[in-house]
Amino acid sequence: MTEFRVEHDSMGHVNVPAQAYYGAQTQRAVENFPISGWPLHDELIHAMGLVKFACAVANRDLGKLTRSGKNPLNDAQVDALLAACREVAEGRHDDEFPIDVFQTGSGTSSNMNANEVIAHRAIELIGGDRFADAKPIHANDHVNMGQSTNDTFPTAIHVAVALSIREQLLPALLRFASVLSEKSQEWDRIIKIGRTHLADATPLRLGQEFGGFARQLQLSAARAERALDAVLELPVGGTAVGSGINTHPEFGARVAQVLADETSLPFVEAADHFEANAQRDGLVECHGELKTIAVTLFNVANNIRWLGSGPRCGFYEVMIPDLQPGISIMPGKVNPVMCESLMQAAARVIGNDGCITFSGAAGGQFQLNIMMPVMGQTTLESISLLTGATNAFVDLCAQDLEANAAACEASVEKSLSMVTSLNPHIGYEKAAALAKEAFKTGKTIRELCTEQKILPPDVLSAALDPMSMTEPHA
């Protein structure tokens, strides 16, 4: 058996690896784009298989596959075509998608990669010779029927992104929110000093602080839902420029319905195919929400890192799990590595948003955006990073956090901001003078007030009760 076989396309003959399911157009792209060594994300490959399946179902039901075209298919061939699409959607042929992400800006190379793999596999399923020159199931005429890369590739991106958000990111964010909420309830009676501008502020409860973090994650989950909503309109049906040339008027709606049925996501045909083909604003909006989620995750991880600083010369109000030696030269030092990991992943996603924003703004001229592969790849990378880093942080850090109640409460009485609760009794100016005197003398606010008989003991005790300072009252 030879190492290569000869395939042909409209430009001529090409040597293709002998056993590959892909064909000439895929091989040309492999040779043309030796850029990064990064193939498309598996999720996008699977989504292309699912989109091809939905297109084949629509064409079958419209009678296009069996009753029209130069080479109509019989029922067995249609079934084989659908089965081959399913196999790609299920990830059974991921190794057959070798094209670099930095390819033709429409994704045509990857679309044809999918068409070739599906056609050759379908031929094999009916017992045919996929290596023969005559193809009873053709990559363009049958697999790509009623489609253009310009509408099906962005459709696959939308499907992949929506599924990844629902199946990966949303569960991770909700789980993180739940863990933080549990910590908030567990630590609700632990009083600590607040900090604003990195300076001492009035008391609050550690549970309240972590309740704020939990709410940030709940809002992040809501943002993930909005990110998903931004990609539910599908361009399929617009073909080359949005006009729908060479496809049935019902095609787009039927494909969207099949995809909705298959995924249980409310995909719909685009309201305007010229907009849907030409622009990727929905993807820009989607990634904008992902960027905001990254900002939140960075902030929460960084706050926990600060709260765990120490153990002797920092705040050390929460105890972060020890996972590994911290540094090669300082024995016994342990660092907040999971916080740092999550922060780095978040930083990457924040940077990715620049790529998406620029690609959406500068990459769309007239009837096509030509930055689609990198936009799809980058969005899926962001979802993967946010998901993986969040899950790791919950597993190895958040759920095992412990409160250091002694450290929390030790600083409350010493805080000069305790004087804030005396404002209603003695006024702002006198309270400010007390704070300055306390700092100068090293005494607490309570000690000074007691010495100077500022207020009756019972009134002073009530006013300087730290727990009462953590809630509003008349």
Give the pLDDT of the chain (474 residues) as one tens digit per residue. 469 999 988 899 999 999 999 999 999 999 999 999 999 999 999 999 999 999 999 999 999 999 866 789 999 999 999 999 999 999 999 999 999 999 999 999 999 999 999 999 999 999 999 999 889 999 999 999 999 999 999 999 999 999 999 999 999 999 999 999 999 999 999 999 999 999 999 999 999 999 999 999 999 999 999 999 999 999 999 999 999 999 999 999 999 999 999 999 999 999 999 999 999 999 999 999 999 999 999 999 999 999 999 999 999 999 999 999 888 889 989 999 999 999 999 999 999 999 999 999 998 899 999 999 999 999 999 999 999 999 999 999 999 999 999 999 998 999 999 999 999 999 999 999 999 999 999 999 999 999 999 999 999 999 999 999 999 986
β-bridge pairing 233-234 and 199-205: unpaired
SS3 letters for the chain? CCCEEEEEECCEEEEEECCCCCCHHHHHHHHHCCCCCCECCHHHHHHHHHHHHHHHHHHHHCCHHHHCCCCCCCHHHHHHHHHHHHHHHCCCCHHHCCCECCCCCCCHHHHHHHHHHHHHHHHHHCCCCCCCCCCCCCHHHHHCCCCCHHHHHHHHHHHHHHHHHHHHHHHHHHHHHHHHHHHHHHCCCCEEEEEECCEEEEEEEHHHHHHHHHHHHHHHHHHHHHHHHCCCEECCCCCCCCCCCCCCCCHHHHHHHHHHHHHCCCCEECCCHHHHHHCCHHHHHHHHHHHHHHHHHHHHHHHHHHHCCCCCCCCCCEECCCCCCCCCCCCCCCCCHHHHHHHHHHHHHHHHHHHHHHHHHHCEECCEECCHHHHHHHHHHHHHHHHHHHHHHHHHCHHHCEECHHHHHHCCCCCHHHHHHHHHHHCHHHHHHHHHHHHHHCCCHHHHHHHCCCCCHHHHHHHCCCCHHHCCCC
User: Are the C-beta atoms of 96 and 20 separated by less than 8 Å?
Assistant: yes
Q: What is the pLDDT of residue 1?
A: 46
Q: What is the pLDDT of residue 223?
A: 98
Domain assignments of the chain as residue spans, ordered by start: 4-145, 151-229+277-407, 413-470
Q: What is the pLDDT of residue 136?
A: 95
Overall CATH class of domain 4-145: mainly alpha
Q: What is the pLDDT of residue 2?
A: 62
Cα separation of 237 and 277, whole Å?
10
Q: What is the pLDDT of residue 327?
A: 83
β-bridge pairing 318-319 and 402-403: antiparallel
Overall CATH class of domain 413-470: mainly alpha
The model's pTM is: 0.96
CATH (residue range 151-229+277-407) = 1.20.200.10
